[in-house]
Structure 1
Amino acid sequence: MAKLILTHEVTGLGTAGDVVEVKNGYARNYLLPRGFALTWTKGGEKQVESIKAARAAREHASVEAAQTQAAALTAKPVKLAVKAGESGRLFGTVKVADIAAAVEAAGLGTIDKRKVELPAHIKSTGSYTAIVRLHDDVSATIVLDVVAAK
């Protein structure tokens, strides 16, 4: 078992700043190469505090503010215009940064791209859903209308 400090939120494992124990292969082959975690050391405890402070600065101040934004996000679909071919197939995929920019352009507030989860890659036009974690206790499911850009 490997003891790690998470630097990003990993679904099903923990949030940034958490100290977790995972199997060696999961740490070596997934978490460490992608930069989701650092190996735990005694000096790493200082890093844990700075990671938690940075995470707290990015989060909403209260659960009520997060719930208000979640209600706004779920109220109407977010339109996302991307380059696509004749058949509706996209040139590339929709990235979480594109979704965060579309939410901000729609006037629904700002969201951190690291808090957006896509269930699958979006490779064609249509209607999709994405989950945005606004707070530890609050998440919102947003509807994305992916259309071809003109």
Structure 2
Amino acid sequence: MTSSDQRGPLAPEDVTADSPFTLPGFFDALAADTLYGAVCEECDNAMVPPRPACYACGSRSVVATEQPRSGHVVSYTEVRTAPPAFADRAPYSVAVVELDSGARLTGRVDAAYEDLAVDQPVELVVREPTDEERAAALSYEADWPVHVFEVR
């Protein structure tokens, strides 16, 4: 992992839309092929997407750090009743993945439910949203990239 020069905001007014500590900033970085997380300098907790404060110890001493894309499945489920815009994709798998840094990220998995297992290694891939995904997204999310885990 490489560290950026981006320290966590110390006050709410320091949080700007382009900061990796906001969802727009996180997805802008992801679109530029960088997966950011925040690492707490007090307790070493890693959080993806980055947060301006550590949810483990409450410290605001966090640094935006590039995260690995590899990890393993911690928990998974199958979505059988999808939102209307994605009903034709059901069933599909969703997992909580612990990245090699220890941070956890939830996302779709490009595998059938019956082919998944706890501790299974996966890799995060990022792609442009399809027209269907853009149409289903909120206006400010329409151009955000889509992340999906692939089984290694």
Shorter-normalised TM range: under 0.3
Per residue, is there more strand in 1 or in 2? 2
Normalised by the length of structure 2, the TM-score is: 0.24
Choose between structure 1 and 2: higher helix proportion: 1
Normalising by the residue count of structure 1, what TM-score does the alignment of the two structures yield?
0.24
